[in-house]
Structure 1
Amino acid sequence: MIQKDGEIHEDVTHRIKTGWLKWRNASRVLCDSKIPLKLKGKFYRTAIRPALLYDSKCWAVKYQHEQKTSVAEMRMLRWMCGHIRKDKIRNKVIRNKIGVVPIEEKVRDTRLRWFGHVRRRPKDAPVRRVDEIEQLIKKRSRG
């Protein structure tokens, strides 16, 4: 979902809402204190995070978008552990308990993977031709 001004705010909020929808569907498992945190983390990585990151390889991410997704993820992770922000437990500690890396790193990984796929395409592929046209346009003389 790209807006008229070329921004992706709506797409990011839609992904976050989708992540929360998946969270609500799995809350019985994720909020159960009898289930180990590592298993909850594994379930989170396989069920909820893909819903949050779907199609993020095409995003032109700004700091605001990273911040929004990071806040949503940390709220989910804190809730999984049974903590609130007033407990003043650092994000790194919670991530280590659950075994989850920051979502910003996963977004960067998916974007780099997509970039690698584009670079390995044949020279006559439409994506590569557009890339070559952009390079030709950028080569201008001074002044």
Structure 2
Amino acid sequence: MKTTGKTLRKVGTLIGDTKDVQRRKQLSTAALAKLQNVLVRGDKLKKKTKLKLYRALVKSVLTYNCSTWALTQAEEKKFDAFHRKQLKRVVGIRYPVKITNKALCKQCNERPLSLHVLENRWRLFGHILRRDREIPANKAMEGFFVPQGDEYMGRPITTLPVILNNDLPRLESSTCACVLIVLKPSKILKT
């Protein structure tokens, strides 16, 4: 464990979602820069091969530990925009050429990363719910729902259970293939 100033790094991630996302962006940008020589080859590599390299070497770095992030909508939009910027760089779309977000996702066979984060968050939540009640993650989840006394004044704090509760309408309207809700989490996650 290494501490520097106000940052705490533990097992390769920073404590605090915003700082961790910024770090992930920096690391994925560095990984993409290392791949740039391979991607610039033009016609020698097919677009499909370039995208496979991107998914394996850059996207995996970008989304590492994303299941624990409780991002706001604004942060999710910035994260998706960053992902689209990297996809354009991989595919070779530059300034004068314009492309819509949907067309880019279809061309690259990708989805917004916010959906990837949402799916991973629910996978982790399901995994925690299936585990023994005595593990620290389950105890922390149960402790969140214990009444705290006086109501908190000010804007509600963005926490993982709050984000999970806010994800429910998005899950019902999106086409997240891997998320199967066996329980009705809205009954569990009353905040």
Using the size of structure 2 for normalisation, the TM-score is 0.63
| Counterpart contact for 1:41–1:100, Cα < 8 Å | no
4+ long deviations beyond 6 Å = none
| Counterpart contact for 1:37–1:81, Cα < 8 Å | yes
Q: How many residues align?
A: 137
**1:21 counterpart residue number:** 30
| Counterpart contact for 2:50–2:91, Cα < 8 Å | no
Using the size of structure 1 for normalisation, the TM-score is 0.82
CA distance in 1, matches of 2:143, 2:89: 49
1:85 is displaced (CA, Å) by 4.4
CA distance in 2, matches of 1:111, 1:123: 19
Larger mean CA deviation between 24-33 and 50-59 belongs to 24-33
| Counterpart contact for 1:40–1:98, Cα < 8 Å | no
Aligned with 1:90 (options 74, 97, 100): 100
Structure 1 position 126 matched with structure 2 position 160: no
Alignment of 1:1-143 (within 5 A): 8-34=17-43, 35-137=45-147
- Greater helix content: 1
CA distance in 2, matches of 1:27, 1:89: 21
Deviation readout 1:10-57 (Å, 9 max, x if unpaired): 221111111100001111222332211122112111111111111211
User: Cα distance 1:137–1:91, how it changes in 2: closer, same or farther (>3 A)?
Assistant: same
1:138 is displaced (CA, Å) by 6.7
Deviation readout 1:56-100 (Å, 9 max, x if unpaired): 111111122212221221111112222124322112222222222
User: Cα distance 1:8–1:124, how it changes in 2: closer, same or farther (>3 A)?
Assistant: closer
User: Cα distance 1:133–1:98, how it changes in 2: closer, same or farther (>3 A)?
Assistant: closer
Structure 1: runs of 5+ lacking an equivalent: none
SS class of match (1:137): coil
| Counterpart contact for 1:73–1:103, Cα < 8 Å | yes
CA distance in 1, matches of 2:146, 2:17: 28
1:7 is displaced (CA, Å) by 5.5
- Greater strand content: 2
RMSD over aligned Cα atoms: 2.3
CA distance in 2, matches of 1:92, 1:68: 16
